[in-house]
Copies of this chain bind each other. A is one copy, B any other.
Amino acid sequence: MIVSPLAPDLFPDLPRIAGLEAGIGRAGFYKHERPDLLLLRAAPGSRAAGVFTTNAVGSAPTDWCKQALSAGRGAVRGLLVNAGCANSFTGPAGDAACKRSLEAAASKLGVVPREMLAASTGVIGVLLDDAKIAAALPAIDLAPVNWLEAATAIMTTDTFPKGAGATCEIDGVAVNIAGIAKGSGMIAPNMATMLAFVFTDAAISAPILKTLLRQETETSFNAITVDGDRSTNDCVLLFATGAAKVPPIPDAKDERLAPFRAALSHVLADLAIQIVRDGEGATKLVTVTVDGAANDASAKIIARTICESPLVKTAIAGEDANWGRIVAAAGRSDQPIRRETLSVRFGDLWAARDGVVSPDYDEAKMSAYMKRPELEIGVTVGPGQGRARMYTCDLTKRYVEINGDYRS
């Protein structure tokens, strides 16, 4: 396997999360020997919240999580993750297999199944063989989390394990955040599945976890796109073990949460951008910032249209500052834009200003800029206050190769 040229040099040192144990196992969902199971146990009193794919097809594990979090008001004790089978589009049989796998995991952890969460990643339409999971559970040893091992066990076609962490204080109490993610590889037998699990030792209620997670997902996991193909199994789960005894906080807007919110935001964005760095065939990490839009939501639609334009992405792969394609993508976003103010820059180099090519456009400087592995594109679409930032990668022949050579 070739590691993405955009991969970080090292897996980071992540803080220990008190009240959390984990172990990895081998259920055998892959032909070659590799860990494909991750089991986590959270201390009594732990709370969790999730953000799930809005894909209408969904999957048995996302259905389970949504129901369990709602019924249990966020009370959780464990998480079971498998790679190699998405258990999506598998009907009632898939739901039953998911439930049986969680019953077996709960029994091992000494908790009840309704306190378990589940995540699966792999090919769509294949029923989860839960007997393989049941057979692998006895060999799993639970211990304080080895984050590198955990991040590696949930990889599918990822070319590097993804982790991020932070420390901060809530009302004077030190708290930790650690998270892992997988995603962006979509080679056989997997499918676009992005999963992220983030943990803190802070004592935070489930409703506040949910609010923070939803808000901070908007500018992290909901601000990345490799090819626009949202999967059936995507989810981000945030757990709080409560081992760090912070004072009760009634509301997500409480100022004492500000440092935690900032640290969480950092961890989520770090993981999200690592997923883009591992986009199939990616050779460029691209940050697209849109400003001057009617509002932030409109700016985000424009940014996404640019980020998902095959013409823009192939031009970037070719190291071509083809700003005309960026202008055309903004124009087809069906959002209000003012043509005579439309401006496009690459880094600090203006390509277009106020509706025409920039008077100081310099092809040589532009070409030099485009050779960088990390690019920033800024687009001003009008006089409004709306802003958004999205992250994407280029579209290369390797992407087509990876995704076209499936099962052949």
- Chain A residues in contact with chain B, CB under 8 A? 54-58, 88-91, 93, 123-126, 186, 191-192, 227-232, 308-311, 314-315, 317-320, 322-325, 327-337, 339-340, 342, 352, 355-357, 395-397, 399-401, 403-408
In contact, B227 and A311 (Cβ under 8 angstroms)? yes
A232, A314, A320, most chain B CB atoms within 10 A: A314
State in angstroms the CA–CA spacing of A126 and B361 once bound together. Answer: 13
**Contact A328/B231 with A56-B339, A397-B401 known, Cβ cut-off 8 Å:** yes
Cross-chain contact of A58 among B126, B320, B331 (Cβ < 8 A): B331
State the main secondary structure of chain A at its contact with B. loop
State in angstroms the CA–CA spacing of A56 and B329 once bound together. Answer: 10
Measured between beta carbons, the chain B residues less than 8 angstroms from A335 are: 56
Look across to chain B and name the residue whose beta carbon is closest to the beta carbon of A189: B324
In contact, A329 and B89 (Cβ under 8 angstroms)? no
In contact, A317 and B57 (Cβ under 8 angstroms)? no
**Contact A192/B406 with A311-B229, A400-B314 known, Cβ cut-off 8 Å:** no
**Contact A327/B89 with A57-B342, A125-B357, A408-B319 known, Cβ cut-off 8 Å:** yes
In contact, B125 and A327 (Cβ under 8 angstroms)? yes
Question: Measured between C-beta atoms, what is the minimum distance from A301 to chain B in Å?
Answer: 12
State in angstroms the CA–CA spacing of A20 and B58 once bound together. Answer: 57
Question: Measured between C-beta atoms, what is the minimum distance from A39 to chain B in Å?
Answer: 26
State in angstroms the CA–CA spacing of A123 and B315 once bound together. Answer: 14
Look across to chain B and name the residue whose beta carbon is closest to the beta carbon of A232: B328
State in angstroms the CA–CA spacing of A186 and B342 once bound together. Answer: 23
In contact, A186 and B55 (Cβ under 8 angstroms)? no
In contact, A328 and B191 (Cβ under 8 angstroms)? yes
**Contact A334/B227 with A186-B311, A328-B124, A396-B404 known, Cβ cut-off 8 Å:** no
Question: Measured between C-beta atoms, what is the minimum distance from A177 to chain B in Å?
Answer: 30
State in angstroms the CA–CA spacing of A356 and B93 once bound together. Answer: 9
**Contact A229/B329 with A311-B186, A339-B56, A407-B320 known, Cβ cut-off 8 Å:** yes
In contact, B331 and A56 (Cβ under 8 angstroms)? yes
State in angstroms the CA–CA spacing of A10 and B129 once bound together. Answer: 54
25 sample A-B contacts, Cβ–Cβ < 8 Å, listed by A number: A54-B334, A55-B332, A56-B333, A57-B337, A58-B331, A88-B328, A89-B342, A89-B355, A89-B356, A91-B340, A191-B324, A191-B328, A227-B309, A228-B310, A229-B311, A229-B328, A232-B327, A310-B310, A315-B403, A315-B404, A318-B403, A318-B404, A320-B408, A395-B400, A397-B400
